[in-house]
Structure 1
Amino acid sequence: MKRLFSILAISGMMAFGTVNATTATTSAALTTVASVTQDDPPAEETLGFHQELKKRFIEGGPGFMGIVLLCLILGLAIAIERIIFLNLSTTNTKKLTQDVEDALASGGVEAAKEVCRNTKGPIASIYYQGLDRTDEGLDAAEKAVVAYGGVQMGQLEKNVSWISLFIALAPMLGFMGTVIGMIDAFDKIEAAGDMNPALVAGGIKIALLTTVFGLIVAIILQIFYNYIIAKIDSIVNDMEDASITLMDLLIRQKK
């Protein structure tokens, strides 16, 4: 996970470096064109999406905007790590159950445990724990399945709460930046002694940008969070069904 954080951080710095280089090149090109066509009427400059995003980010101020960006990077890092882990934890439950049933019929408990050892995922681990306690009775096997199922569920939900924290934190930081910007705008009005719209319009616009970026970050992370929760629920349901199926297999094996 630390390696994943490092990769994402480096990628972010490279992306911003690329945007900076592109912006510098674009600015130089525009300056050259402007000097050549000085006598022509100025044309309206159209910025691309990345240039516009960078412009608005800089206008919002490096303080709160940098913190909001950090929430996005950390939230995405955790979300990507969880998605990779959950996809690796997904098991073909029907195939595993059939393999365990065939192994029990042909080679007994040890053969079934070998099948579980060669299969990745929490369901295979739960099967192994239940099969490993069959010598102690069905009650012991059932308790082992339930207990280890709780352990596996905790592994699936690991670090997910941090994503929900960043979802709540990003818009709150944006709102705080807006409030501070509004206070600064009113300070300028008080210092000037009159209500000049041009005096405060820029400050208010900059203050509102922090809220916009905070909401954007929260929306992006919310999409990832909902996907992760849905994936966890799907795996947990498979775990519960597989646990019931395992106990049925063990009961038939005892008979």
Structure 2
Amino acid sequence: MKHYLAIMTLSVAMLLSAAPSYANQSLLNQTTQAKAAEQKANKQREGEFAATEAKLKRELKALQAKRTQLNKEIETLSDTFQSNEQTLADKEKQLTLATGSLGEIFGVVRQAAKDVQMEQQRSVVSIGLESDLALVSGIIDAKSIPAKDELYGLWRAYARQIQVSSQATRVTIPYVNQAGEISQKQVLRMGAFALADENGYLAWDAAKQMATSYSVQPEHPLLSSMDISSGTPMIAVDATRGALLEQLANNPTLLQRIEQGGIVGKIIIGLLLIGLLIGLYRALVLISIKSKISKQLKHTDNPTSNNPLGRVILVHQEDKSPTIEALELRLLEAVMDEQENLEKGISTVKLLAAIAPMLGLLGTVTGMIDTFQTITQFGNADPRIMAGGISMALITTVLGLIAAMPLLLVHNMLSSLSEGIRNIIEKQGVGLVAQRAEQAQQRKLAQPDAQGASQEVRA
């Protein structure tokens, strides 16, 4: 057993000593084969590199030859370009010398064409002259000197514009009504100033080639139904070609101005109406009283109670006072009662006349407060934002003054009527007192004479 183990150990040792030699031999063979393959690949790559290098050198020579040729062509073209530039400069000098003043004429013609175009766009003379508009536009947009036909065409456009501006003719144009419907309508064209239909002036839109009606017409508008054959009637013509007619719509009416006054303005108008009604009523009453007094003056012996003078005379007739002073006081009392009746409503009218301008001042202050509040919120960049408060401030002041003036006139008229009637009554009352005093004096004088006569009879 021991021999067997020794033999096995020796065999293993021999195998282990032989294994490295086999491995080294195999590695050496592999390395030799790899080196041979690499040398073969390197030779092949060197051959490819040499072929590529030769090809690139041939291409380089070709490009260098082409570059030389292009440089020669560039030099040739540069010489040609310079020669052409010099030729072009010479030609431009020759053109300038040849045209002479034609360049200035072109500028003048273009400016004249622009003037004609502007006039045609602003006025109604362009209606029916579409060919002239196209001709003028072509002259303005042209880059060269206009031809003879274009110059003659511009001259004819001038002549037709002048001719149309001096005539009143009827033309058919597209018309847009308030509902937005477009229709063809025959209207009257008054020169270059206005268009008119049966309702008044029309606004002409040259860009859209359509007409619309103005919202507000002047007092004497132009009408298409007018007979222009026998002569032009008296009409209002807007020399600004529609600018003033458009501003008519911005002018507020009387009701709109009153509406701008706000609640204060309406109160002032109410006070004015109340004062006028009171004044009218009292004026009718006083005139009626004065008429009755005039009739009573003709019949003082037959007084009636339907007028102040008759009532004062009745007081005199019914008075049984023993003294003149008592009668005078009774008549003064009667006159004061009548005066109180005569002055009814006059103080109210005076009060309303005094309150009206004060309310106008109140509206002014209120409107200015509103204006300042608007300025605080939105600034003062746009005046239209402040227009409401300023309108109220001014309108209420005007309304207050307008209300105060007629009320003062009514108060003065009523005071005059009342004062005249009162003077008549007082004058008649003084006359009655004087009459009673004369009668008393006559009785006093008659009593001594009667006593002396009776004494003589007794003697």
Using the size of structure 2 for normalisation, the TM-score is: 0.41
Task: Tell me the residue number matched to 1:177.
Answer: 363
Distance 1:32 1:136 in 2: 91
- Between the two proteins, the alignment pairs up a number of residues equal to 209
The Cα of 1:203 is off from its aligned counterpart by: 2.7
Higher helix share: 1
Distance 1:247 1:57 in 2: 56
1:205 aligns to 2:405 (yes or no): no
Pick the aligned partner of 2:314 from 119, 128, 131: 128
Q: 1:94 to 1:174 in 2, by over 3 A?
A: closer
Distance 1:97 1:186 in 2: 65
Q: Structure 2: which amino acid aligns with 1:74?
A: I
Q: 1:155 to 1:47 in 2, by over 3 A?
A: farther
Pick the aligned partner of 2:288 from 69, 80, 88: 88
The Cα of 1:202 is off from its aligned counterpart by: 3.8
Task: Tell me the residue number matched to 1:76.
Answer: 276
Task: Tell me the residue number matched to 2:50.
Answer: none
Distance 2:369 2:362 in 1: 11
Q: Structure 2: which amino acid aligns with 1:205?
A: S
Distance 2:313 2:182 in 1: 75
Which residues in structure 2 correspond to 1:1-255 (within 5 Å)? 31=178, 39-40=210-211, 42-43=213-214, 45-46=216-217, 52-61=253-262, 63-91=263-291, 96-97=296-297, 99-100=299-300, 103=301, 115-117=302-304, 120-134=306-320, 136-254=322-440, 255=442
Distance 1:88 1:33 in 2: 61
Q: Structure 2: which amino acid aligns with 1:145?
A: L
Using the size of structure 1 for normalisation, the TM-score is: 0.71
The Cα of 1:149 is off from its aligned counterpart by: 0.7
User: Higher Cα Rg: structure 1 or 2?
Assistant: 2
Q: Structure 2: which amino acid aligns with 1:192?
A: F
| 8 Å contact from structure 1 (residues 129, 141) kept in 2 | no
Distance 2:417 2:179 in 1: 53
| 8 Å contact from structure 1 (residues 90, 235) kept in 2 | yes
| 8 Å contact from structure 1 (residues 91, 123) kept in 2 | no
Q: Structure 2: which amino acid aligns with 1:116?
A: P
The Cα of 1:31 is off from its aligned counterpart by: 4.9
Q: 1:35 to 1:78 in 2, by over 3 A?
A: farther
| 8 Å contact from structure 1 (residues 91, 121) kept in 2 | no
**What stretches of structure 1 of length at least 5 have no aligned partner?**
1-29, 104-114
The Cα of 1:94 is off from its aligned counterpart by: 7.2
Q: 1:225 to 1:98 in 2, by over 3 A?
A: closer
The Cα of 1:159 is off from its aligned counterpart by: 2.3
Q: Secondary structure at the match of 2:299?
A: helix
Task: Tell me the residue number matched to 2:174.
Answer: none
The Cα of 1:92 is off from its aligned counterpart by: 6.6
The Cα of 1:139 is off from its aligned counterpart by: 3.1
**More divergent stretch after superposition (195-204 vs 241-250):** 195-204
| 8 Å contact from structure 2 (residues 353, 408) kept in 1 | yes
Q: Structure 2: which amino acid aligns with 1:57?
A: I
Considering only aligned residues, what root-mean-square deviation do their CA atoms show, in Å? 3.0
Q: 1:248 to 1:35 in 2, by over 3 A?
A: farther
Percent same amino acid among aligned pairs?
27
1:7-46 deviation digits (Å, cap 9, x = unpaired): xxxxxxxxxxxxxxxxxxxxxxx95799876832554724
Q: Secondary structure at the match of 1:158?
A: coil
Q: Quick one: higher RCO (CA 8 Å, sep 6+), 1 or 2?
A: 1
Q: 1:133 to 1:222 in 2, by over 3 A?
A: same
The Cα of 1:150 is off from its aligned counterpart by: 0.9
Distance 1:243 1:75 in 2: 33
1:152-189 deviation digits (Å, cap 9, x = unpaired): 11111122111111111111111111111111111111
**What stretches of structure 2 of length at least 5 have no aligned partner?**
1-176, 184-201, 204-209, 220-251, 443-459
Q: Structure 2: which amino acid aligns with 1:99?
A: H
Higher strand share: 2
